[in-house]
Amino acid sequence: MDERTQIIFDKKADPLQRLTELMSYLRSPEGCAWDRKQTHQSLLPYLIEETYEVVEAIEANDMDAVKEELGDLVCQIAFHAQLASERGEFVFDDVLTIIVEKLINRHPHVFGERKELEPQAVRDQWEKNKVNSGEKKSVLSGIPKAMPSLTMAFRIGEKAGGVGFDWEDNRAVLDKIDEELREVKEALNNGQHDELEDEVGDLLFAVASFARKSDIDPELALKRALDKFKGRFGKMENKIIEEGKRLSDLEIQQLEKVWKSIKSE
């Protein structure tokens, strides 16, 4: 057993070093053909999958699962760092060094002139510092295009709010929702599909902004609503089947009656 494999199997060794050595070994000729074949691009689906699995574990409040899924996510990060190190671009330690320095710079109220700031003030300061430091060219830059739209709406509103372009509170956003809903109705009456699409988008953005100003994650809120709908719909479907019928056999009024009975249970 060489020095590298000794570190890999040494449970008393530094875990980060064990992981780094393990990824290096798997990519070596003595390692695994699948691991050697991977690229940054080929690993993207796994990176996304592991991220969603972390989210699911947190939503389920399953800390054992959170611990395991975070490990899987770190594995993906280590894999990408290994690929970069083989090309002489950077190593895992560089990734860690950058984030440590970034966190220090983004917390001047902690590591500079000591100030007690509210969470929202810290969030606003964070957004301003990213632009002032030159890290971001624009307040709204840096948001991934592949991000789910509701989450993107949340982050865009948060970034704009960080430099003062925001509603005073969630009640102020309600007026904007009413305004956008009126414009949706007008577009519907005009019979212009493109106009209607634009207005629906504005309405959804306003609703996402209301959620943000209410300290609600709109993506999570919608997911929970969908899970609730799926559960109730499944119960309605089973109830109708138990009565020897099919959903297509019932009129909408009959379906509504069953639906209301499911909700009241």
For residue 30 the two structure tokens come to 């003595």
The vertex-38 CA angle with 74 and 82, nearest 5°, equals 45
Are 8 and 100 members of one domain?
Answer: yes
Q: What is the pLDDT of residues 74-95, one digit of tens each?
A: 999 999 999 999 999 999 999 9
Range of the domain at 43: 3-105
**With a threshold of 0.95, does the pTM exceed it?**
no
Are 82 and 165 members of one domain?
Answer: no
Query: Which of 105, 138, 158 is the last residue in one of the domains?
Result: 105
Asked if 160 and 205 touch (Cβ cutoff 8 Å), the reply is no
The vertex-114 CA angle with 112 and 119, nearest 5°, equals 105
Q: What is the pLDDT of residues 32-55, one digit of tens each?
A: 999 999 999 999 989 999 999 999
DSSP code of residue 112: S
Are 152 and 237 members of one domain?
Answer: no
The residue written with tokens 């290994």 in the block is: 82
Angstrom distance (rounded) from CA 157 to CA 161: 6
Residue 14's pLDDT is what?
A: 93
